[in-house]
Amino acid sequence: MRLGQLLWRRADPAKARHRAGVRVLLPAALPLAVLGIWWLALLRQWVRPYQLPAPGMVLSAFQEMLARGELQQHLAATSSRTVAGYLLGAVPAVVIGIGAGLSQSVRAFVDPTIQGVRAVPSLAWVPLFLLWLGIGERSRVLLIALGAFLPVYLNALAGVEGVDRRLVEVGRAYGLSGAAITTRIVLPASLPAILTGLRAGLSLAWMFVVAAELIAASNGLGFLLVDGQATMRPDRVLASIVAFALLGRISDAALGAIERRALRWRDSLGTAEPPDRTHPSPLSAEGGVTP
Amino acid sequence: MSGAAVSVQTLAVTLSGRPILHEISFAATPGEVLAIIGSSGTGKSTLLRTLAGLVSPERGGVDVRNGDERARIAVVFQEPRLLPWLRVAENVAFVMQGPRPARRQRAQAALAAVRLEGCARIWPRQLSGGMAQRTALARALVTSPHLLLLDEPFASVDALTRMELQDHVVELWHQHRFTVVLVTHDIDEALYLADRVLVLGGHPARVQAELDVSMPRPRSRTDPRLLALREPLLHALATPRAVSASGG
Ligand SMILES: Nc1ncnc2c1ncn2[C@@H]1O[C@H](COP(=O)(O)OP(=O)(O)OP(=O)(O)O)[C@@H](O)[C@H]1O
Ligand SMILES: [Mg+2]
C-alpha cells in the first residue's frame, strides 16, 4: 500500500475508477509529450535532422543494427563486462560489509580505508587503472567492480549494524551458538538492506560500464555511442541509449523480483486479514489444551 | 523432567552506569512458581534478563541448576519478539532442535494449545498484539524448559484469554514441574499462579517484601483465602521497605 493511500484513503468506487485511469494514463503522459515536442521540433525545423533524427529513424537504425547482428554483439560485450564487474565488486562487498558489521576489529581494519576510497570520485581512478592495467578488459571490469562495491558494502554494513538487538537476544536466551545467531537471525534481518545495496550497486555498474566504454573500448554499447558521435549518426547514438535503458530496466526488474520474493514477509502493511479465533468462546471451551 | 533450582545471591546490576538492582537475594526450588511484582521501571525485566544470562551482574551471581545437566531456559519477553521473516509456525519451531517434521508437528501442537492453530502459515505482522504474545508463549513452552521466565506474558490479551493461558501454563506445570519466574503487574495473577510473591521496589531495586502463597493447585480464582492475601500484597507494594509479609 502506498503511503499516500494511507494518508488520504477513502473508500469510494468513483474514486477507484478514477485511480485506475490514473494508473494507465498518467505514466504515459510525459513520454507522449516528449515524443510530441520531438516531432514538432523537427517539423518546425527548430533542430536539424543531423542533430536530432526523427523517432522513426531511430527505430530503423535500431532495426538495422539488429538485423546485421551488430547490436546483439555490442549488447553481449557490454552485459558480460557489466556482469563480471558487478560480481567482482558486489560479492566481496557483501562479505566484507557483513564482516565489518559483525566484528569491531574487521570494521576497524577495513572501514577507514574504504571510507577514504569513497571520498575519491570513482572516475578519478580511471587514469591510474589505465596506467596499471593498460587499455583492456581488465581495467574496464575493475572500474565497474569499484563502482558496484561501495553501495553494496555500505548497505550491508548498515544492515548488519541495524539489526534489532532484541531479536539477537532471543537467540542468546534460547542458547543458540554465535554462528547460528549470525546465520539464522542477523543475516535474514539484514537482508532487506543488503538487497537495497545490491540494486544500487547494479545501477552504478551500468553507469560505470558506460564510462569505461566511452574512454576505451572497441566494442560495447558505450563504444557504439562514441562511434555514433564520431560518424555523425545521432540515430545510432539514440538507439544505443534505448538499448542501455532496456538493459538497465530488465536487470533491475529481475533483481526487484528476487527482492520481492525474498522479502514477502514485510510486503507493505498487512494485506491478508488474520484469521479469527477458530474456537468458540474460551468459557465454553473445555479449558486448557495440551500440546 | 523436572525444574531447575535457581539461586540469586547479593545480585547487583548496573546499566549504563546506573545501579538498577541492589543486593537481591532469593532462591527457587525445582518446580517452584515465583512471581515478581513491583511498579513500572523498578527493574523486574532487568532481573529476568539477568536470570536469562542476557545481562551480566556487577556483583553477586545467578545460579540455575538442573542436577548435573545444563538447564534449558525459555523466555517470554515483555514484547513478543517474533522473527518477522518466519511464518508463525516457523517462529515456534525456530528454538527447537531435531528433525524438521518432528519440529513442525510439535510447533503445530504448541500453537493449538494457545488457540492459534489457524495461524501457523501467516506472517507475524498479521497477528494482533495478543496473538503475537501467545505465539511467543508457544515458542517458550515447546522447548520443554527447566526454567520458564515470563515477563508480563499476558499483559496484552483480553481477560478471558488471559485466564485461559494462565490455566494452560498451570496444566503444563502439572505435567513437567518446571520452575517459573513470572513478572507481572497483576496481583491476582501473581496470587493465582505463584507459590511465592516477591515485591521489588526502590532505587536501586531490592526485594522489599516476600509473600508465601502456600495453597495447593488447582486453585480457584475466587478462593477467599487467595483474596485475603491481596491486602498484605497491596500494602507491601504501597509501603517502601515493608518487612516480610506472610500468609497462606
Ligand atoms: N539498557 C539500559 N541502560 C540503562 N538503563 C536501562 C537500560 N534498560 C533499562 N534501564 C533502566 O532500568 C530500569 C528498570 O528497567 P526494567 O525494564 O527492568 O523495568 P521494569 O520493572 O521491567 O518496568 P516495566 O514494569 O515498565 O516493564 C528503568 O529505570 C530503565 O530506565
Ligand atoms: Mg518490564
Is A291 close to B109, i.e. CB distance below 8 A?
yes
Assess whether B204 and B135 both reside in one domain.
no
Task: Please identify among residues 61-120 of chain B the ones whose CB lies closer than 8 Å to any CB of chain A.
Answer: 72-75, 77, 79, 81, 83-87, 94-95, 106, 109-110, 112-113, 115, 117-119
Tell me, yes or no, whether B30 and B118 share the same domain.
Answer: no
Dist CA B34 CA B27 (whole Å): 9
Q: Are A166 and B77 in contact (CB under 8 A)?
A: yes
Q: How confident is the model at residue A14 (pLDDT cuts 50, 70, 90)?
A: low
**Cβ atoms A152, A90 nearer than 8 A:** yes
Is pLDDT above 70 for A10? no
Cα B176 to ligand 2 centre (Å): 26
Tell me how far apart the alpha carbons of residues A187 and A168 are, in angstroms, rounded to a whole number: 11
Chain A residues closer than 8 Å to B87 by CB: 265
Please say whether the beta carbons of B85 and A191 come within 8 A. yes
What are the b/e assignments for A115-132, b being 16+ CB within 10 Å? eeeeeeebeebbeebbee
Ligand 1 atom closest to Cα of B185?
25
How far does the CA of residue B172 sit from the closest CA of chain A (Å)? 7
Instruction: Using alpha carbons, select from B123, B36, B32, B25 the residue that is nearest to residue B80.
Output: B123
Question: Mind listing the pLDDT tens digit for each residue in A218-252?
Answer: 899 999 999 998 998 989 999 999 999 999 999 99
Q: Which residues does chain B have within 8 Å of residue A289's beta carbon, measured at their own beta carbons?
A: 112-113, 115, 168
Establish whether residue B41 lines the binding site of ligand 1, counting it when its CB lies within 6 angstroms of any ligand atom.
Answer: yes
User: Are A55 and A242 a contacting pair, CB within 8 Å?
Assistant: no
Residues 6+ apart with CB under 8 A from A133: A139, A142
Distance CA(B1)–CA(B211), nearest Å, equals 28
Q: What is the mean pLDDT of residues A120-146?
A: 87
Please tell me whether residues B95 and B137 are part of one structural domain.
yes
At residue B6, φ and ψ (nearest 5 deg) are -115, 135
3-state SS assignment for residue B74: strand
Inside any domain, residue A183: yes
Both A153 and A100 in one domain: the answer is: yes
For residue B67, the model assigns a pLDDT of: 81
Q: Identify the band that residue A279 occupies on the pLDDT scale cut at 50, 70 and 90.
A: very low
Of B184, B185, B183, B130, which Cα lies nearest the Cα of B158? B130
Residues of A with Cβ-Cβ distance to B217 under 8 angstroms:
none
- The residue whose CB lies within 8 Å of the most ligand 1 atoms, and thus the one to mutate among B16, B37, B45, is B45
Same-domain pairing of A65 and A122: yes
Question: Does A286 map to a domain?
Answer: no
Question: Residue A44 and residue A255: Cα distance in Å, rounded?
Answer: 43
- Say whether both B152 and B132 belong to one domain: no
Q: How confident is the model at residue A13 (pLDDT cuts 50, 70, 90)?
A: low
Query: In what helix (H) or strand (E) does residue B148 lie, and over which residues does it extend?
Result: strand B147-151
Quick one: A7 and A143 in the same domain?
A: no
Residues A16 and A142 placed together within one structural domain of the fold:
no
Does residue A254 carry a pLDDT above 50? yes
Q: Which of B114, B143, B172 is the last residue of a domain?
A: B143
Domain of residue B181, CATH code: 3.40.50.300
A194 and A55 housed in the same domain = yes
Residue A278 lies in a domain: no
Is residue A288 included in any domain, yes or no? no
Residues 6+ apart with CB under 8 A from B190: B35, B37, B182, B184, B197, B233
pTM: 0.81
**pLDDT < 70: residue spans in chain B:** 1, 240-248
Total domains, chain A:
2
Q: Which residue has the cell 485511469?
A: A21
pLDDT given at position B245: 44
Contact B178, B145 (CB under 8 A): yes
Strand pairing report for B33-37 and B179-183:
parallel
Same domain, A141 and A254: yes
- Judge if A92 and A156 occupy the same domain: yes
Tens-digit pLDDT profile for residues A168-199: 999 999 989 999 999 999 999 999 999 999 99
Please tell me if the CB atom of residue B44 comes closer than 6 angstroms to any atom of ligand 1.
yes
Shared domain check, A122 and A4:
no
pLDDT in tens, A29-86: 998 999 999 999 988 988 888 888 888 889 999 999 999 999 999 999 999 999 999 9
Dihedral sign computed on CA atoms, order B115, B119, B124, B125 = negative
* B95 and B130 housed in the same domain: yes
**Helix A55-67 crosses helix A13-43 at what angle (to 10 degrees)?**
90
Please indicate, yes or no, whether residues B63 and B159 belong to a single structural domain of this protein. Answer: yes
pLDDT at A153 over 50: yes
Q: What is the CATH number of the domain that holds A204?
A: 1.10.3720.10
Q: Are residues A27 and A164 in the same domain?
A: no
Query: Tens digit of pLDDT for each residue in B75-92?
Result: 999 899 999 999 999 999
- Cα torsion angle, A58, A60, A66, A69, sign: negative
Residues B8 and B68 in one domain: yes
Cell numbers linked to A125: 581512478
* Residue-level pLDDT at B3: 85
For residue A289, being part of any structural domain is answered with: no
Helix A137-161 to helix A126-133 angle (10° resolution) is 130
Whether B85 and B58 share a structural domain: no
Q: Are B8 and B23 found together in one domain?
A: yes
Three cell numbers written together for A201: 550497486
Residues A79 and A151 in one domain: yes
- The closest CB to that of A174, out of B126, B143, B160, belongs to B143
Place of cell 557489466: A82
Please tell me chain B's helix, strand, coil percentages from 3-state DSSP, rounded to the nearest 5: 35, 25, 40
Is B131 within 8 Å of chain A by CB? yes
Could you tell me the residue range of the domain that residue B168 belongs to? 1-72+147-248
Residue pointed to by grid coordinates 541492589: B22
Which pLDDT does position B66 carry in this prediction?
85
Same-domain pairing of B48 and B133: no
Same domain, B102 and B159: no
Phi-psi region of B211 (alpha: psi -120 to 50; beta: other; left: phi over 0): beta
The answer to whether residue A69 is domain-embedded is yes
pLDDT at B216: 85
Does ligand 1 have an atom closer than 6 angstroms to the CB of B14? no
Domains of chain B: total: 2
Residue A270 has a pLDDT of 45
Q: What CA–CA distance (Å, rounded) separates B187 from B182?
A: 12
Query: Are B157 and B104 within one domain?
Result: no
Any idea what DSSP says for residue B81?
-
Q: Note whether residue A56 is domain-resident.
A: yes
* Residue A181 lies in domain: 51-262
Q: How far is the CA of B19 from the centre of ligand 2 (A)?
A: 16
pLDDT value, residue A2: 64
Q: Cβ A282–B161 below 8 Å, yes or no?
A: yes
Q: What ipTM goes with this model?
A: 0.86
